Structure 1
Amino acid sequence: MNGCKRVVVTGMAGITSLGSDWASIEANFLANRSGIRYMHEWDRFNELNTRLGGPIDDFSVPAHWTRKQLRSMGRVSRLVVGAAEQALAQAGLLDDASIRDGRMGVACGSSTGSTEDVKAFGNMLLNNVAVGLNANSYIRMMPHTTAANLSIFFGLKGRLIPTSSACTSGSQGIGYAYEAIKFGRLPLMLAGGGEELCPTEAMVFDALYATSLKNDAPQTSPRPYDSDRDGLVIGEGAGMLVLEELQHALARGAHIHAELVGFGSNADGRHATRPEVLTMRQAMQLALDDAGLAPEAIGYVNGHGTATEQGDIAETLATHSLFGARMPISSQKSFFGHTLGACGALESWFCIEMLNRDQYIHTLNLDIIDPRCGELDYLRNAPRHMSHEYVMSNNFAFGGVNTSLIFRRWA
């Protein structure tokens, strides 16, 4: 499209149950080490069947964060701000005053705000007391808490785009940030998503009979695309990218990690929790159209891969229908569990790291491919060395929200 700007990634970072830097996370990938464990903390919930989760057990706020800064941030915002601080530092922008004059905006989301504060408001409604509530309780609980806290913490005065859309919160954040730069609204965006681990989110899927019950063998689940999968596992994390208009990045001599060339997003428009093959495929096609690419240009697809029966089958049938059986695919949710609002941002980060290293991470615990899944080139057992110019990352959320992102290797 004439007049459109090119968008590049100049910073990227994340916080996960397997580390907060690529070197640590990659080492765990290569060792087939899972971030899933038995959640003894959930034993008090008798009606919750699953006891599996992917918590970040070693997260602590940096010593230089002030009490005033922390007051408005629940755990999900702290994770997101922590990831953003690393991404901005990598981009060489953390101490750059130019990001605070309106040139940088924020696009970020999570499935929900911090649930400790939801609990406090619920206690008020149930027991007629305001114990634990204060002036910042709503700020920590509100659906746009991550985007607002990012803007306030770093003093960012550009447009603020909240993306609270469950499993597509992170990928929509990146996609909408990309569009803001592409169409010339501003040159810099901080984009991504996060999620804090909460038993209520496990209960959501438990009620749908969609959680894994391999409680006695945490390291064997989840199992995306596998015949022996029995459901998903909830995790937590945060991922953030710094997106920048190409000429702006070149002018300041920024290191470019990749170019974001395509974004597609649509809705199923039929059912809140039952995925639709046709609209999933259309979301991928929209991203290809946006990038001006044929399906043959894509070398690898980072699948949503939640390890739910309906999701795995619909996603892979959609992918096969567009790309055919030759397409390599894998899901890192097999290592972390489903990090909901964070997954799209974390998986985008992983895609760029894999693209630049010519090493693509496999799906953990994928022993026997479910014959009902679409015929694809499933990466199993160990990483695979491949060299590609373009990769695609897909996410699909409750409410029938579909997203697809395409990244290009930066020569």
Structure 2
Amino acid sequence: MRRVVVTGMGGITALGNSWPDIRARLARGETAIRYLPEWERFSGINTRLAAPVVGFSVDNLYPRKKTRTMGPVAKMAVRATELALTDAGLLGDAVVAGGRTGISYGSSFGSPAPVMAFAELMKDGQSKTLNATSYIQMMSHTAAVNIGLFFGITGRVIPTSSACTSGSQGIGYAYEAIRWGKADVMVAGGADELDVTESAVFDTLYATSTRNDRPETTPRPYDRDRDGLVIGEGAVTLILEERERALARGATIYAEIVGFSCNSDGNHVTQPQASTMQVALREALADAGLPAQEIGFVSGHGTATEWGDIAETAATQAVLGSAAPIHSLKSYFGHSLGACGAMEAWLGIEMMRAQWFPPTANLDHLDERCAELDYLMGSARDLDIAYLMSNNFAFGGINTSIIFKRV
């Protein structure tokens, strides 16, 4: 089995695009949640809250010829990948287009706006806006495809369109591709753009926060006074590399991936099952060859939905015990859907390296139905840990767990 390390990281988030900027805002307790007055025209949904990426544009970075197949989600994914390849020292390197570099990348959907062109065609019999790039921007694998086109990547492509586990599956499958010798370098991660339709999906399930006049007080993962999630956006890319190759070229190694697991509840589309979540966590530990007590911190999924929080914490406690420290970064960034698994992996690695972990924002009164764990509340904590577990769970009962080792 070949060992897999992280040699580059880059991201576009609602709290900044670099770890120093993001850490500073986390330390001040800032969240990215905003009231969006432009959503007042949508009478069919109740929430007016989101965590947008403000001011992002690639118009001055890339020529129009390069971006015409990209909607916002693909543009963020490509930019995050450029930052990550630069960080890894591989931007422009021959290995990127040499056939031994692949892509494992996901989003919950492509860009929603081009859907209107097809809807217009179906409804009116003609479309004024449908063009040759409409589908390319809309398709669920638009991020992976545009990354490949932009950087000339010719290795295997693994699109992971699995809602909230798109990013974590992207990383996990990339890890397995290198581990089993199918690639030497992998571009891995996830992205999603903010759109009212994504909030509407959860709003119809009565799962969105409606604290529209108090955006700074929501979402509230694991809290008894939670009232639902808030949708966010962003893109994060990790560059994964076979360890001996990375060492030979003198690359900076941020962390090693030592365990991954993915399974399915096989039960209900929107009701998570703690029993199969447990299996995913146990299998990640088995893949890493680690006992549960070696996990020093858990980056939780923590969406601030009632049954999601309860099921997740029950599974975590059953596998890791009550002493496991845990937080949810969605309290700061909102639920960035396809991006969240990659975003939480990136920031989890940075926090592990810095030995500094912020609390879950707005977690003031723990829901007594959540399992007994060491929830970070109120203030940040300095922790010297060797292993971090990052967990994500998605519609359809998809469960993922990744274990990172500090180096």
Same fold (TM over 0.5): yes
- Give 5+ residue unaligned stretches, structure 2: none
Q: How much does 1:122 deviate?
A: 1.3
Residue 332 in structure 1 maps to residue 333 in structure 2? no
Q: Give the match's secondary structure for 1:116.
A: coil
Residue 81 in structure 1 maps to residue 78 in structure 2? yes
The residue number in structure 1 matching 2:378 is 381
Matches within 5 A, 1:351-370: 351-370=348-367
Q: Over residues 339-374 of structure 1, what are the superposed CA-to-partner deviations in whole Å (9 max), with x where a residue is unaligned? A: 000000000001100110100121000000000001
Q: How much does 1:178 deviate?
A: 0.2
Q: How much does 1:290 deviate?
A: 0.5
Q: Give the match's secondary structure for 1:239.
A: strand
Alpha-carbon separation, structure 2, partners of 1:309 and 1:101: 47
Alpha-carbon separation, structure 1, partners of 2:320 and 2:198: 33
The one-letter code of the counterpart of 2:318 is S
Q: Over residues 106-143 of structure 1, what are the superposed CA-to-partner deviations in whole Å (9 max), with x where a residue is unaligned? A: 00010101001112211221222212111111110111
Residue 223 in structure 1 maps to residue 220 in structure 2? yes
The residue number in structure 2 matching 1:203 is 200
Alpha-carbon separation, structure 1, partners of 2:59 and 2:153: 20
Q: How much does 1:375 deviate?
A: 0.3
The one-letter code of the counterpart of 1:13 is G
Q: How much does 1:260 deviate?
A: 0.4
The residue number in structure 1 matching 2:237 is 240
The 4+ residue runs of structure 1 with deviation greater than 2 A are: none
Residue 258 in structure 1 maps to residue 258 in structure 2? no
Q: How much does 1:186 deviate?
A: 1.1
Matches within 5 A, 1:31-46: 31-46=28-43
Of residues 294, 298, 301, the one that matches 1:301 is: 298
Matches within 5 A, 1:1-400: 4-61=1-58, 63-400=60-397
Alpha-carbon separation, structure 2, partners of 1:397 and 1:98: 34
Alpha-carbon separation, structure 1, partners of 2:345 and 2:108: 18
Q: Over residues 120-174 of structure 1, what are the superposed CA-to-partner deviations in whole Å (9 max), with x where a residue is unaligned? A: 2112212222121111111101111011001110000000000000000000000
| TM-score, scaled relative to structure 2 | 0.99
Moved more, 122-131 or 236-245: 122-131
Moved more, 315-324 or 118-127: 118-127
Q: Give the match's secondary structure for 1:9.
A: strand
Alpha-carbon separation, structure 2, partners of 1:55 and 1:352: 23
Q: Give the match's secondary structure for 2:108.
A: coil
The one-letter code of the counterpart of 1:79 is M
| TM-score, scaled relative to structure 1 | 0.98
Q: Over residues 12-37 of structure 1, what are the superposed CA-to-partner deviations in whole Å (9 max), with x where a residue is unaligned? A: 11111110111111111001101010
The one-letter code of the counterpart of 2:81 is A
Q: How much does 1:103 deviate?
A: 1.4
Alpha-carbon separation, structure 1, partners of 2:265 and 2:259: 20
Q: How much does 1:63 deviate?
A: 2.1
Q: Over residues 227-286 of structure 1, what are the superposed CA-to-partner deviations in whole Å (9 max), with x where a residue is unaligned? A: 110000000011110000001101111000000000010000000000000100110111
Alpha-carbon separation, structure 2, partners of 1:21 and 1:50: 29
Q: Give the match's secondary structure for 2:114.
A: helix
Alpha-carbon separation, structure 2, partners of 1:261 and 1:375: 27
Q: How much does 1:62 deviate?
A: 5.5
Alpha-carbon separation, structure 1, partners of 2:382 and 2:116: 47
- Give 5+ residue unaligned stretches, structure 1: none
Alpha-carbon separation, structure 2, partners of 1:46 and 1:124: 25
Q: Over residues 301-344 of structure 1, what are the superposed CA-to-partner deviations in whole Å (9 max), with x where a residue is unaligned? A: 00000000000000001001111110000000000110000000
The one-letter code of the counterpart of 2:359 is H
Moved more, 125-134 or 188-197: 125-134
Q: How much does 1:66 deviate?
A: 1.2
Alpha-carbon separation, structure 1, partners of 2:107 and 2:38: 23
